[in-house]
C-alpha cells in the first residue's frame, strides 16, 4: 500500500452487499446507465476510497456531487473500503 494512502482492507463480498443501493446509477455490473455518472468497474480501489471520502466530507462539489453527498454521508471507513474493493474487482 503506498505510504501516501492507508486504508482499511476491503471485503469484496461485503462490498457487493453494500453496493445494492448504488446499482440504480452505477449499474449492477459497475457500468453506469446514465452518461453523467461514472463507470466504477475495475476502477482503482484507492481512488474510489479517496472519492467516497471526499463526497462524505462534502469536499467534492460541482457536477452531480450533491447526489453523492447523501449517498456517502453515513458510510463508515470500512463500508468505503468494502465498496471500493467490490467495484475494483469487477471487470
- Residues of this chain that interact with a copy of itself (CB under 8 A) are 2, 4-5, 32, 34-39, 42-47, 50-51, 53-54, 57, 59-65
Cell numbers standing for residue 19: 453496493
Closest approach, Cβ 43 to a copy of itself, in A, equals 6
- Kindly tell me the burial class for residue 89, based on how many C-beta atoms sit within 10 Å of its own C-beta (0-12, 13-18, 19 or more): middle
Cell numbers standing for residue 1: 500500500
d(CA 36, CA 58): 19
Closest approach, Cβ 77 to a copy of itself, in A, equals 14
Cα torsion for 64, 86, 72, 48, to the nearest 10°? -60
Residue with Cβ nearer a copy of itself (27 or 78)? 27
Residue with Cβ nearer a copy of itself (17 or 23)? 23
Closest approach, Cβ 5 to a copy of itself, in A, equals 5
Amino acid at each position: 500500500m503506498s505510504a501516501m494512502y492507508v486504508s482499511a482492507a476491503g471485503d469484496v463480498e461485503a462490498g457487493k452487499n453494500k453496493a445494492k443501493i448504488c446499482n440504480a446509477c452505477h449499474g449492477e455490473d459497475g457500468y453506469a446507465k446514465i452518461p453523467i455518472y461514472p463507470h466504477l468497474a475495475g476502477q482503482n480501489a484507492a481512488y474510489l476510497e479517496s472519492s467516497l471520502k471526499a463526497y462524505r466530507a462534502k469536499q467534492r462539489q460541482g457536477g452531480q456531487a450533491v447526489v453523492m453527498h447523501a449517498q456517502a454521508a453515513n458510510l463508515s471507513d470500512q463500508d468505503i473500503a468494502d465498496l471500493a474493493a467490490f467495484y475494483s474487482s469487477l471487470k
